[in-house]
Structures are given as structure tokens and as C-alpha cells.
Amino acid sequence: MRIILLGPPGAGKGTYASRLTVILGIPHISTGDIVREEIKAQTKLGNEIKEYSDKGELVPDDIIIKLLARRLRKPCCEKGFILDGFPRTARQAEALDGISKVDLVINLNVPDKIIIQRLSNRLTCKKCGAIYNKLTLKPKKDTVCDECSSGLYQREDDKPKVIQERLDVYRKKTEPLVEWYKKKRLLKDVHCDDMMIPPEVVVEKIKVIIDASRKQGFPRNLTK
């Protein structure tokens, strides 16, 4: 099944996708993680895109589309994938149409107040990328990852002055995709209005939608 998780930064896309990938047995593809991997490896491209990412701006479409297409060509994506953070612009959605079919788009609706609270308290593992929250999803030891024992840090773009910029970019450039996928009859809404709802509860809601979609005959032919 080919699933897109749509929603503002801090909606929980990464947290839910990391659980769904285990349940569904298909890869979780986060373009944010791909961007951070490039930056960490200090490749020529990584140095070029760091500036955008640190400021909360979008990496240019041409670059991100190439990076995503490269990832989707890997054999592990043949049976489907969960996309987190892509597409984020109309151009990216059009490009994705040319690369792969999509079976389902889950639109996570989260009020700004919760997003700001969530992102400013988010901690990320330096090594494996696992996500924690100082209020709702605490690691067992304060700044250590439960999964791989590496250190946790606050992402540069989770700092308060960058969060508002990321939200503005989302509303302007990404939110119009809700209509785009609604017209294609692929979009299903999930509402998360309470910061204290455990991730498992939202994942279960998404799972129910996926099961219903399967009953309607998705995924369609997986050859493209």
C-alpha cells in the first residue's frame, strides 16, 4: 500500500509512521530524514541544503524530488511505502504522480497551539532519529535514546523562532494539497486535538482507515 501522511510539522507524522512501518511491513520514507542524512554526511548537496533546513524553509523542489525518486527506486519500496514530509508543494505532488501511484492520503489535523507545544518540547536521537517529547513521550533516561542509547538533541528547526516560519510555509505551500488529494478522492482526515492522546490511539485510528481502504480494493496494481 502506498500511503502519504500529510499534516503540519509537529503533527506526529514521524511518530505515527515509525509505528505503522512495523505494523504494515512497508518502509517509512521521511524526506526530512533524507535531508538530515545528506547534511550529516556533509556531501556537496548536504552543504547546499543545510541553509534551507536550518531556517525552516523548503529545500528547492528539483533537489527534493530527485532525492525522493532515488529512494523510491529501491527494491524495498516495491510493495508500498509510507511517505512522511513529501509532497509539500503542488510541484512535488505532480512529480509524485509521475513516479508512483498513491492509494491513500491521511491528513492529520492538529491546531497550531498543540504543534508549537509539541515541537518546542521534541527531542530527536542523534543516531537513529527516534522521536521523544519532554512532556508526552519521555525517554527512560533524560537525554538518552531508549532504542540505541545515543544522545538526544533539539533540532535546529525545532527552536521557537523557526517553528512559526515552518508553520507559515506549511499553510501557504502544503495545505493546498489537501484539496488536491480530496479531488482525487484519496484523502481521509484524522483529528488530533489533544496533545496528551498517546500515539497508539492515533495509530489505531489510522489503522482502521487503512483496513477500510483495503476492503475497497486498495492497493491498486502495484506495478506502477
Positions that interact with ligand AMP (CB under 6 A): 9, 31-32, 35, 52-53, 56-59, 64, 85-86, 88, 92, 157, 166
Q: Is 122 in the active site? A: yes
Please give the DSSP secondary-structure letter assigned to residue 154: -
| Catalytic hit among 13, 50, 71, 118 | 13
Give every strand in the sheet of 152-153, ordered side by side: 131-133, 122-125, 152-153
The torsion angles phi and psi of 190, rounded to 5 degrees, stand at: -125, 130
207, three cell numbers: 489503522
| Catalytic hit among 36, 71, 88, 118 | 88
Q: Is 91 in the active site? A: no
If the CB atoms of residues 59 and 206 are measured against ligand AMP, the closer one turns out to be 59
Please give the DSSP secondary-structure letter assigned to residue 12: S
Q: Is 220 in the active site? A: no
5, three cell numbers: 501522511
Q: How many residues does the chain have?
A: 224
If the CB atoms of residues 93 and 213 are measured against ligand AMP, the closer one turns out to be 93
Q: Is 73 in the active site? A: no
Minimum gap (Å) between residue 179 Cβ and ligand AMP: 18
If the CB atoms of residues 35 and 102 are measured against ligand AMP, the closer one turns out to be 35
| 28-30 and 104-109 beta bridge pairing | unpaired
Active site positions, annotated: 13, 88, 122, 155, 166
